[in-house]
Amino acid sequence: MSLNLFDLTGKRALITGSSQGIGFALARGLAAAGALVIINGRDEAKAQAAAKTLTDEGADVEVLCFDATDHAGVRAAVDGFEEARGPIDILVNNAGMQHRMPLEDFPADAFERLLQTNVASVFHVGQACARHMIGRGKGKIVNIASVQTALARPGIAPYTATKGAVANLTKGMATDWAQHGLQCNALAPGYFDTPLNEALVNDPDFSAWLANRTPAGRWGNVEELVGTCIFLSSDASSFVNGTTIFVDGGITASL
């Protein structure tokens, strides 16, 4: 009986930025839990390739391409999908980017891109989906935060700012929308072996530092994010709202 709380059968889940990395792993995991997953990205070819991989594995998959930083484009895409295909029950706001440079040299245009990709996209897609969820009196929004939501590291101060904003925007979503039956939470990964972190993974000095700094002693594997995402997307989290769950091998818990 208790396992039924985690069953996503019959639910539709939109995962932004899901053609690779964490987004793709979460899409695969939600599909395994029974959801129909909606692959999203700006690159149609990459999104279709990701969808084919999951379809070949037996998943129910659709593709919905849009630029998550384009407010009007997001609204049109989400409204069109809802009208033509049915409700989006679960939204995972995963689209994000990184730019590493000392703060004193950080380009203003790169800072603006980080704000648009990492923060504004959460607002745009969150609002577009929530408008429909509110009308139905239910819905799940999972925003992907980061270990940098709580901690800073040299060279990525603007990224740290954006991920702090994601956690606080999540609190705001819950404060406004919990009364309408929505659960809005954030999942904060620690250091995971993904394309976004490729330069760090390939740096033996950094990997050694990370192993020493993280109580678990290693990089995370993206599959280890799936369980928490399923929890936040399912009935198991029906009274969990506005919180950020860190999946980081203990790095935010230790000095």
Give the residue carrying structure tokens 């935060």.
Answer: 145
CA distances from 187 to 221, 227, 237 (A): 15, 11, 13
Q: Residue 2: what are its φ and ψ, rounded to 5°? A: -65, -30
Query: Cα dihedral angle (41, 101, 150, 251), rounded to 10 degrees?
Result: 90
Domains of the chain, start order: 2-247 (3.40.50.720)
Q: For 185-207, write each residue's pLDDT tens digit.
A: 999 999 999 887 888 999 999 99
Annotate 62-96 with b (16+ C-beta within 10 A) or e (fewer).
ebbbbbbbbbebbbebbeebbeeeebbbbbbbbbb
Mean pLDDT of 47-53: 98
Catalytic residue list: 159
Query: Is the pLDDT at 158 greater than 90, yes or no?
Result: yes
Task: Output the six-digit token pair for 197.
Answer: 């972190």
pTM as predicted: 0.96
Query: Is the pLDDT at 178 greater than 80, yes or no?
Result: yes
In Å, the largest CA–CA distance within the chain is 56
Lowest-pLDDT choice from 9-23, 43-57, 196-210, 217-231: 196-210
Q: For 52-63, write each residue's pLDDT tens digit.
A: 999 999 999 999
Interatomic CA distance for residues 131 and 112, integer angstroms: 27
